[in-house]
Amino acid sequence: MSPPAVIAPSILSADFAELGKACSDTMNQGADWLHVDIMDGHFVPNMTFGAPVVTKIRSHVDRPTGAYGRGTFDCHMMIAEPKRWVRDFQKAGCDLYCFHYEAAVSSTAADTPAGTSTAKTSPKELISFIHGLGMQAGIAIKPKTPVDVLWDILENPVKEEVPDMVLVMTVEPGFGGQSFMASELPKVTALRERYPDLHIEVDGGLSEKTIDQAADAGANVIVAGSAVFGATDPGEVIGKLRDAVESRRGKL
């Protein structure tokens, strides 16, 4: 059976002037995790915020009691130098550090803010580094990246180098409120067929209209920004998204 449904509202669509309250409100409305979009203006053509803001909003949500628990801060790192910021985000209270495959393989970032190394960042090394700091590790792929790049990373017998979650982007990363790309779902199906226990997250354009397709493909971690924060009853939307995923568990 696939892992339980996890609904992770993306605070990208929240009112940034009231971010702490938005985080606690969405948890009270039934969210499981908070999806925290970090954008640097390089990897994607948009900017959000960094570790100091995460430190501040972290205090508005109780820490999870275990891996993947309620209140997990799922940090989606849309940044060009994913290795550089691991320590800062761990200190800020990130629980799941999800970096982009594309950024890791093209990055020359060092593991310190001084950034003196020119060595390429291998995804396996980065996953191990994240685990070493006590966080869960996620790896994300953009729409143009084939899922095949992940097989070698997921097949690895070295447990600390294997990600806990794969994020399949269902929009081009950078902005909330875009249209869902159903063309990305075969990646989810292929991942679920090979890895029944893996956390598979989808992000971008998820709503009551698109959730059935994503759940049928096997996604269990559902990010929703505009659909939750734009709703008159966010709790009802969160419940419907969860029901759609839970009703398929065991059938996949």
Return the residue nearest ligand 5RP (CB atom). Answer: 225
Instruction: State yes or no: residue 213 binds ligand 5RP (CB under 6 A).
Output: no
- Note whether 194 and 162 are within 8 A (CB): no
**Minimum separation from the CB atom of position 204 to ligand 5RP (A):** 4
37 a catalytic residue: yes
Residue 128 assigned to a binding site = no
Partner whose footprint covers residue 177, from ligand 5RP, Fe ion, none (CB < 5 to 8 Å by kind): ligand 5RP
Question: Per rule CB under 6 A, is residue 214 in the interface with ligand 5RP?
Answer: no
- How many chain residues are in contact with ligand 5RP, going by CB under 6 A? 22
Three-state SS sequence of the chain? CCCCCEEEEEHHHCCHHHHHHHHHHHHHCCCCEEEEEEEECCCCCCECCCHHHHHHHHCCCCCCCCCCCCCEEEEEEECCCHHHHHHHHHHHCCCEEEEEHHHHHHCCCCCCCCCCCCCCCCHHHHHHHHHHCCCEEEEEECCCCCHHHHHHHHCCCCHHHCCCEEEEECCCCCCCCCCCCHHHHHHHHHHHHHCCCCEEEEECCCCCCCHHHHHHHCCCEEEECHHHHCCCCHHHHHHHHHHHHHCCCCCC
Span of 18-26, 99-107, 112-120, 218-226 interacting with ligand 5RP by CB under 6 A? 218-226
Measured between alpha carbons, how far is 217 from 236 in angstroms, rounded to an integer?
23
Catalytic position from the list 40, 74, 164, 203: 203
* String marking each residue 22-51 x if it binds ligand 5RP according to CB under 6 A: -------------x-x--------------
Per-residue contact flags (x/-) with ligand 5RP for residues 74 to 113, judged by CB under 6 A = --x-------------------------------------
Main-chain phi, psi angles of 42, to 5 degrees: -115, -60
205 binds, options ligand 5RP, Fe ion, none, Cβ within 5 to 8 A by partner type: ligand 5RP
Output the smallest distance, CB 223 to ligand 5RP, in A.
5
Nearest distance from C-beta of residue 10 to Fe ion, angstroms: 5
For the annotated catalytic residues, the residue numbers are 37, 203
Residues in contact with ligand 5RP by the rule CB under 6 A: 10, 12-13, 35, 37, 76, 171, 173-178, 203-206, 223-227
